Amino acid sequence: MPHVLSTSQFTKEEAERILSRAREMEAECASGNVAKLLKDKIIACIFFEPSTRTRLSFEAAAFRLGANVISAENAAENSSAHKGETIEDTARIVSSYADALVMRHYEAGAAQAAAAVISKPVINGGDGAHEHPTQGLLDLYTIHKEHGRLDGLSVAFVGDLKNSRTLHSLLPLLVQYSGNTFTFVSPDELRMPKEYTDELSKKGITFSETEDLESALKNADVVYMTRVQKERFESEEDYARVKDAFLLKPEHLTHIKPDAIIMHPLPRLNEIDHAIDADKRAAYFRQAENGLYVRMALLCYVFGL
């Protein structure tokens, strides 16, 4: 039974198979005729951190495919974790009730730890600041759908690059395609972790790091904004110093190419002015919808369907 723990587990071919399955799911949803491939399956969604899109799109994906869902939406408070139960024990118990476990946790490596002790598939819905592989895949799906290709793209990642797990999952997918280049735009204290930039250098991939948003926008095919991840900061003061670091405003649009797309995993706080929503380059709501199709494809993937 395969797990979904990190995007690094996928070859380019495997990732593309998931995208192509997601396209089938999108078409089935549009036709109103979705094959109930997961009939009789029970999917458990255990979320130790807040979520709107990830949990609800997974639950909707499961229902669309005919599965049933059991859910702990505030597991840090409402599950036995609150009494001190380990993630391994919680996973063991839940896996005896359900056929697959979708989980989000505040600790890096939590999904991996759960997967190590159970014989049912585990899907990582975000583990601390580490990874968010299902978001990485839906972002890849979105870029392909919007641009018609995944290579030769200039990508600007903006904001909290240190803590944004969605980027840590998307980057390894994008580097598998030739000719992609990256501009990392962040305050100094929120730079992309060195392990990721070292990997790019090792592979000879072109990238630059800057605090100059305007210049980074000029060549970008993809502008990927991120929220400053308040929950990962040690103090309110540290957060306050950088929380409004980069706001994309209507006047920036003149610097962005006419066929570029603006992405954001959402929720947005003060990163994208709402006046930008009406611009056709604003892809973030389309991106969120794509999550449903990609998560349907991923549920099928873990069951070998």
Q: Is 287 in the site for ligand NCD (CB under 6 A)?
A: no
Counting DSSP H helices and E strands in the chain, the numbers are 11, 9
Active site residue 144: no
Structure tokens at 137: 């895949």
Cα–Cα distance between 272 and 256 in angstroms, integer? 14
In DSSP terms, 262 is beta-bridged to 223, 282
The secondary structure of residue 156, as a DSSP letter, is: E
Catalytic annotation, pick one of 132, 145, 227, 252: 132
Which residue is associated with the tokens 């395609």?
177
Q: Is 130 in the site for ligand NCD (CB under 6 A)?
A: no
Pick the closer one to ligand NCD by CB: 144 or 227: 227
Angle at which helices 165-174 and 133-147 cross, to 10°: 50
Q: Is 54 in the site for ligand NCD (CB under 6 A)?
A: yes
Q: Which residues inside 145-174 make contact with ligand NCD, applying CB under 6 A?
A: 165-166
Question: To the nearest whole angstrom, how small is the minimum distance from the Cβ of residue 117 to ligand NCD?
Answer: 24
Pick the closer one to ligand NCD by CB: 118 or 282: 282
How many Cβ atoms from other residues are within 10 Å of residue 83's Cβ?
6
Question: To the nearest whole angstrom, how small is the minimum distance from the Cβ of residue 288 to ligand NCD?
Answer: 7
How far the first Cα of the chain sits from its last, in Å, is: 11
Binding residue (CB under 6 A) for ligand NCD from 120, 132, 144, 145: 132
Angle at which helices 87-97 and 110-117 cross, to 10°: 50
Q: Is 295 in the site for ligand NCD (CB under 6 A)?
A: no
Pick the closer one to ligand NCD by CB: 57 or 79: 57
* Residue 293 amino acid letter: Y
Q: Is 252 in the site for ligand NCD (CB under 6 A)?
A: no
Binding residue (CB under 6 A) for ligand NCD from 3, 21, 64, 227: 227
Binding residue (CB under 6 A) for ligand NCD from 57, 79, 124, 135: 135
Catalytic annotation, pick one of 3, 41, 53, 130: 53
User: Is 117 exposed, middle or buried, given 0-12, 13-18 or 19+ CB atoms closer than 10 A?
Assistant: middle
Q: How many residues does the chain have?
A: 305
Structure tokens at 245: 């670091």
Q: Which residues inside 79-118 make contact with ligand NCD, applying CB under 6 A?
A: none
Active site residue 191: no
Binding residue (CB under 6 A) for ligand NCD from 3, 53, 168, 252: 53
Residues that bind ligand NCD (CB under 6 A): 53-54, 126, 132, 135, 165-166, 227, 265-266
Q: Which residues are catalytic?
A: 53-54, 83, 104, 132
